[in-house]
Amino acid sequence: MFLWVTVFLLVCIILTIIRILLGPTAADRLVGTDMLSNLVVFAMVMIGFAFNEVIYIDVAIVYALLSFVTTLFVAKYIGGGKF
C-alpha cells in the first residue's frame, strides 16, 4: 500500500521536474526545487515504513535539513546583496 503512495509521489516529482526544466526565471526553478525536496522527504518516509527500516527516515531528516540550507544559499545568490 505505502509503496503505491511512493509511486504516486514519483508522478508528482516528475511533474515538478518538468516545471524546473521549463521555468522561465530562476525563481521559478528555485520554487520547483524546494517542492521537489519536500516530496522526496515524504517519499523516503513512505519507503522507510514499507520496508520497515528506520534508517531511511533518518536519511529523510538529514536530507530535509541539507536541502533547506541549499535553498537558502541559492535564494541569497539570486537576490544579490551582501552575505
Partner 1 sequence: MILNIITYICIGIGCLFNLLAAIGLHRFHDPYMRMHASTKCTTFGGIFLIGAVVLQSARIWVSEGSASAQSIMIIHSVIALIVAMLTSGTSSHAIAQAAHRSGVKPARAVVDDLEEDVRNKEKQ
Contacts to partner 1 by CB under 8 A: 1-2, 5, 8-9, 11-12, 15-16, 18-19, 25-28, 30-32, 34-35, 38-39, 41-42, 45-46, 48-49, 54, 57-58, 60-61, 64-65, 67-68, 71-72, 75-76, 78-81
Task: Compute the radius of gyration of the chain from its Cα atoms.
Answer: 15
Is residue 48 within 8 Å of 60, Cβ to Cβ?
yes
Minimum CB–partner distance for residue 69 and partner 1 (Å): 9
Minimum CB–partner distance for residue 81 and partner 1 (Å): 7
Closest alpha carbon to 41 in 19, 52, 56, 27 = 56
